[in-house]
């Protein structure tokens, strides 16, 4: 595997300070959250789908030589995907551009709908994550991305997205937390029951 120069251009970093070392520390913390979500110490043999992947999770996995079954990232930024494809040579990693509209990262993209298809190779990921995803989406896009993502899960897939506050809402029937971004909890609450009817997904939700 290679990460050319072991360095990510600052323009591709989405952290506020554009600090590469801080980005990697943040990524390591998120990887620990992902493993805990599955009750594991690491992600060995786990197949991960990261929606709105950016670069830092891949960077931490590669730079630190961390175990992973497979990691598939999708992102609306073509420059992010181009950088990852040119920098990482490892069959466990795949990255794909999705031309969904996003006011911040892809303003000329097409409107995302619930029937959109992700250009990924598998439909049975063990863990689906979207860190800081919901806070960058329009309310109707939040529901769409949940509907889309559910088609790439199996019966025991877990969702992982860290809570934005200590007052995390809970699912009425199971008491499990709905891990939502600030200002998106009503939209998520409306979307998740529909997902549960279509496919049983355990754990938190994007």
Exposure b/e, 31-69, CB count within 10 A at least 16 = b: bebbbebbeeeebeebbbbbbbbbbbbbbbbbeeebebe
What pLDDT was estimated at residue 118?
96
What pLDDT was estimated at residue 8?
59
Mean pLDDT of 14-38: 78
What pLDDT was estimated at residue 109?
92
What integer best gives the mean pLDDT of the chain? 76
Which position has the token pair 């990261």?
Answer: 50
- pTM of the complete model: 0.76
Comparison of pLDDT for 136 and 181, the residue scoring more:
136
Token readout for 110 is 């097409």
Kindly tell me if the per-residue pLDDT of 68 is higher than 60.
yes
Token readout for 98 is 């999705």
| Per-residue pLDDT tens over the stretch 142-172 | 888 888 988 999 888 888 875 443 333 334 4
What is the pLDDT confidence band of residue 4, given thresholds at 50, 70 and 90?
very low
- Do the beta carbons of residue 171 and residue 200 sit within 8 Å? no
What pLDDT was estimated at residue 137?
82
DSSP-assigned letters across all residues of 13-31: --STT--HHHHHHHHHHHH
Mean pLDDT of 167-187: 38
- Domain 19-203: CATH class, spelled out: alpha beta
What pLDDT was estimated at residue 152?
92
Average the pLDDT over each of 14-18, 37-41, 143-147 and give the range with the smallest value: 14-18
Kindly tell me if the per-residue pLDDT of 82 is higher than 90.
yes
| Per-residue pLDDT tens over the stretch 109-140 | 999 999 999 999 999 999 999 887 877 788 88
Kindly tell me if the per-residue pLDDT of 60 is higher than 80.
yes
């Amino acid at each position: 595997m290679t990460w050319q120069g072991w360095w990510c251009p600052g323009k591709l970093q989405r952290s506020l300070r554009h600090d590469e070392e801080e980005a990697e520390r943040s990524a390591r913390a998120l990887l620990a959250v992902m493993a805990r979500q599955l009750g594991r110490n690491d992600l060995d043999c786990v197949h991960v789908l990261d929606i709105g992947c950016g670069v830092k999770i891949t960077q931490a996995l590669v730079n630190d030589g961390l175990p992973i079954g497979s990691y598939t990232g999708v992102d609306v930024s073509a420059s992010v995907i181009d950088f990852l494809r040119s920098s990482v040579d490892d069959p466990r990693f795949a990255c794909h551009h999705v031309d969904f509209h996003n006011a911040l990262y892809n303003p000329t993209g097409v409107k995302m709908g619930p029937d959109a298809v992700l250009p990924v190779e598998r439909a049975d990921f063990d863990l689906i994550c979207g860190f800081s995803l919901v806070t960058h989406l329009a309310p109707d896009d939040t529901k769409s991305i949940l509907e889309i993502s559910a088609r790439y899960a199996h019966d025991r897939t877990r969702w992982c997205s860290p809570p934005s506050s200590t007052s995390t809402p809970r699912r009425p029937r199971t008491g499990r937390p709905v891990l939502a971004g600030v200002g998106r909890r009503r939209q998520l609450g409306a979307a998740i029951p529909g997902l549960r009817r279509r496919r049983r997904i355990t754990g938190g939700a994007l």
